[in-house]
Amino acid sequence: MSADLRTVETKDGEVVYDSDMPIKALKSVMGAGKTGDLDGIIEGFRVFVSVWPYKGDPTDAEAWDDLKRSQFNAIVTAVMEDLGELGNE
């Protein structure tokens, strides 16, 4: 497994993401987070989340629309907390 692929735990299971995501995806997430633009957050996350414990493919924006609010929040929170712990590694 690549050192850039990280696994975080949610109450529903594991989420795998690429911690060395393209800056475009990170900018999408960060900018959208400031304005509450869920579509922008999804657009960024779908680029670097590759595995989740839910139905559908996390690289497909439409699959994100099928998540419950709590599931969406669990993914975003777990990934962002993990990235924060990584700092500038």
- Provide the whole-model pTM: 0.89
The pLDDT of residue 87: 79
What is the residue whose two structure tokens read 């594991």?
Answer: 14
Q: Answer for the pair 19, 6: CB distance below 8 angstroms, yes or no.
A: yes
pLDDT above 70 coverage of the chain, percent: 94
pLDDT digits (tens, 9 = 90+) for 20-63: 999 999 999 999 999 999 999 999 999 999 999 999 999 999 99
**Which pair of structure tokens corresponds to residue 21?**
């995501």
